[in-house]
């Protein structure tokens, strides 16, 4: 039997566009004499459709396009596609998250997802009824078990999330092959974890696993692909590329003759790889870099925009965003605005111009001093002679925000926000100023990671000038200002933030790691007090296990750790 994996980049609700991609994959599979082609979770409509699922028209469109896919496959190819299906009973939710097994142009079997994640960015139990019946389907004398994403992830750890193990239930029917349709969002360590989970299932149940993940970004969620074929011994037969669409085909030898072996057959290659554990580069910094480039590119493509704009300050954050945006959109499609003030140092402009020269990207210089002076003159009588403080600092940030939004409106550019996760966490940013924008590129990337990403970008040649990476970080909103005037050292700050945000550790646990009690209290209070700011930020590209946004739901009004 020859099985294909179609790792594709879908768009939520773009039924015709998704259908066109799936149609092309089906035609390729037929020309390669494949027997079965596997797509990813909710491939027909895109993942996650969220409240689109509450529209009857949306569900009817899913059904209509499933029938069209069945007609194209006809009697030449069996396909497994992901889509919502209606619950025929009156018990529970109206829908299932399902996998349609289509053979001879007809729906032969529908498998439903059993484990519905309701944590972090997931909210599937809001829409779907969990499966309670576990059966397989027979195809070409092979018994096939079909699972959907989370169904294979609860692998019997010390604290399982669910009361049932779907693969364990399916294993009672003695399947020959395990299929998994997945839409598993990226984070920096997901690729490594994915292999571990698939291996656990393959070896525990002595089954070859065909795991098909989707690829591409859906607003803040990024999917890395990395679909996997693994034999029953837990060896990786093949791992599809990250952040790229791919369709590949694999031939299973006679299970009776060789129960653990799979032969890969793709692009005229026919190599026995059953004992080779092929691993791609899983360097977290590289993966985060590729994910951010993918996130920017897909956000623009899927919204129908081509050009980006950003404020280039001479600092490391805006330098990194510019470099990523150029890689995602092309150097000619990213406009940088330099907006020096009377507090800006000469090297900030010089560093920015050097960076722009290295990237070959266009720019404009629009100073803010004149406008800021007018603001000060008009407001001074109303400020009651109060001294210069954060008010005047924020005024500068908001003037810059107005400049950027004016250029964005006039020319139809999307403004890229350059705030990093460390700043977003502690509120080190100005609402309606440097926090404005259409997409927050770095708001799930800590400051220390920003430097790692810059070093990665510079690994082959210097793109981001070295002086940007070595000078002390500063917002340059008053004379001689440095970030360290307001914040702890980033090496310490980021470690505390990571424990609080990603690891869910409270003050006592963090202090036990050796951090100063007063410092921990100060940092955690800053995080909590600035929740109102984060509720007003642009969508944040998610690259960690716990990003700000839909995956971290905190009350704006609260007094936790305030006393």
pLDDT in tens, 386-427: 999 999 999 999 999 999 999 999 999 999 999 999 999 999
Helix (H, G, I), strand (E, B) or coil at 42: coil
* 113 carries an active-site annotation: yes
Question: What CA–CA distance (Å, rounded) separates 147 from 62?
Answer: 20
* 495 carries an active-site annotation: no
Enumerate residues 6+ apart whose C-beta is below 8 A from 547.
Answer: 121, 220, 443, 444, 540
Q: Cα-flanking dihedrals φ and ψ of residue 512, to 5°?
A: -65, -15
* Active-site choice (45, 149, 214, 436): 149
Question: What CA–CA distance (Å, rounded) separates 216 from 321?
Answer: 19
Tens digit of each residue's pLDDT (9 = 90 or more) over 55-81 = 999 999 999 999 999 999 999 999 999
Question: What string of DSSP letters covers 505-563?
Answer: --HHHHHHTT--HHHHHHHHHHHHHTHHHHTTSPPB---SSS-SBTTB---SS--TT--
How many angstroms from the chain centroid is the CA of residue 128? Answer: 23
2-282, what's its fold?
A: Nitrilase/N-carbamoyl-D-aminoacid amidohydrolase (3.60.110)
Question: What CA–CA distance (Å, rounded) separates 438 from 415?
Answer: 5
Identify the weakest region by mean pLDDT among 20-29, 161-170, 421-430.
161-170
Helix (H, G, I), strand (E, B) or coil at 62: helix
Please tell me whether the peptide bond between 459 and the residue prior to it is cis, using omega within 30 degrees of 0: no
Average pLDDT for 235-263: 80
Tens digit of each residue's pLDDT (9 = 90 or more) over 467-476 = 999 999 888 8
Are β-strands 363-365 and 414-417 bridged in parallel, bridged antiparallel, or unpaired?
Answer: unpaired
Question: What CA–CA distance (Å, rounded) separates 6 from 20?
Answer: 13
Taking 3-state DSSP, the helix, strand and coil percentages for the chain, each rounded to the nearest 5, stand at 40, 20, 40
Question: Among 140, 76, 81, 88, which residue's Cα sits nearest to residue 107?
Answer: 81
Confidence category of residue 159, pLDDT binned at 50, 70, 90: low
* 447 carries an active-site annotation: no
Tens digit of each residue's pLDDT (9 = 90 or more) over 307-347 = 999 999 999 999 999 999 999 999 999 999 999 999 988 89
Domain boundaries, the chain: 2-282, 286-484
Q: Name the CATH superfamily, with its identifier, for domain 286-484.
A: HUPs (3.40.50.620)
Question: What CA–CA distance (Å, rounded) separates 55 from 462?
Answer: 51
* Active-site choice (21, 113, 354, 447): 113
Tens digit of each residue's pLDDT (9 = 90 or more) over 477-534 = 888 888 888 899 999 999 999 999 999 999 999 999 999 999 999 999 999 999 999 9
How many angstroms from the chain centroid is the CA of residue 366? Answer: 34
């Amino acid at each position: 039997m020859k099985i294909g994996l179609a790792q594709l980049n879908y768009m939520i609700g773009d039924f015709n566009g998704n259908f066109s991609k799936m149609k092309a994959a089906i035609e390729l599979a037929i020309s390669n004499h494949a027997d079965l082609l596997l797509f990813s979770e909710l491939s027909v409509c895109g993942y996650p459709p969220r409240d689109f699922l509450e529209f009857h028209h949306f569900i009817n469109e899913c059904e209509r396009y499933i029938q069209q896919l069945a007609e194209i496959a006809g009697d030449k190819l069996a396909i497994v596609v992901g889509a919502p299906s209606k619950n025929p009973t009156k018990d529970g939710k109206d829908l299932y998250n399902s996998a349609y097994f289509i053979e001879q142009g007809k729906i032969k079997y529908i498998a439903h997802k059993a484990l519905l994640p309701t944590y972090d960015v997931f909210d599937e139990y809001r829409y779907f009824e969990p499966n309670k019946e576990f059966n397989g389907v027979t195809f070409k004398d092979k018994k096939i078990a079909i699972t959907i994403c989370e169904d294979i992830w609860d692998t019997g750890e010390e604290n399982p999330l669910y009361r049932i193990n779907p693969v364990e239930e399916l294993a009672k029917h003695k399947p020959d092959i395990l299929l998994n349709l997945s839409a598993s969002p990226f984070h920096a360590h997901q690729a490594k974890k994915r292999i571990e989970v698939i291996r656990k299932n393959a070896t525990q149940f002595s089954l070859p696993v065909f795991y098909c993940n989707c690829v591409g970004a859906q607003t803040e969620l990024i999917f890395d692909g990395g679909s996997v074929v693994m034999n029953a011994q837990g060896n990786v037969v093949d791992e599809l590329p990250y952040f790229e669409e791919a369709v590949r085909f694999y031939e299973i030898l006679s299970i009776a003759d060789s129960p653990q072996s799979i032969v890969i057959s793709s692009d005229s290659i026919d190599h026995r790889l059953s004992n080779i554990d092929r691993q791609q580069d899983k360097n977290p910094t590289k993966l985060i870099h590729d994910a951010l480039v993918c996130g920017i590119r897909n956000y623009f493509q899927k919204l129908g925009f081509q050009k980006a704009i950003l404020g280039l300050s001479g600092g490391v954050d805006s330098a990194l965003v510019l470099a990523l945006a150029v890689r995602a959109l092309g150097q000619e499609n990213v406009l940088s605005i330099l907006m020096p003030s009377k507090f800006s140092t000469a090297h900030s402009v010089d560093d920015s111009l050097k960076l722009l020269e290295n990237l070959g990207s266009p720019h404009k210089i629009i100073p803010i001093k004149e406008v800021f002076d007018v603001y000060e003159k008009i407001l001074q009588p109303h400020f009651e002679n109060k001294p210069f403080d954060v008010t005047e600092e924020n005024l500068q940030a908001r003037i810059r925000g107005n400049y950027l939004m004016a250029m964005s409106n006039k020319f139809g550019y999307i403004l890229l926000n350059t705030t990093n996760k460390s700043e977003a966490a502690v509120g080190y940013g100005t609402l309606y100023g440097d926090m404005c924008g259409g997409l927050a590129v770095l708001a799930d990337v800590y400051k220390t990671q920003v430097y790692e990403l810059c070093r990665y970008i510079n690994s082959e040649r210097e793109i981001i000038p070295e002086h940007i990476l070595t000078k002390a970080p500063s917002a340059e909103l008053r004379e001689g200002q440095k970030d360290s005037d307001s914040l702890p050292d980033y090496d310490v700050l980021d470690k505390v933030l990571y424990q609080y945000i990603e690891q869910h550790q409270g003050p006592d646990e963090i202090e036990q790691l050796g951090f100063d009690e007063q410092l921990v209290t100060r940092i955690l209070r800053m995080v909590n007090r600035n929740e109102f700011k984060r509720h007003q930020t642009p969508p944040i590209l998610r690259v960690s296990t716990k990003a700000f946004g839909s995956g971290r739901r905190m009350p704006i009004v609260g007094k936790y750790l305030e006393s």
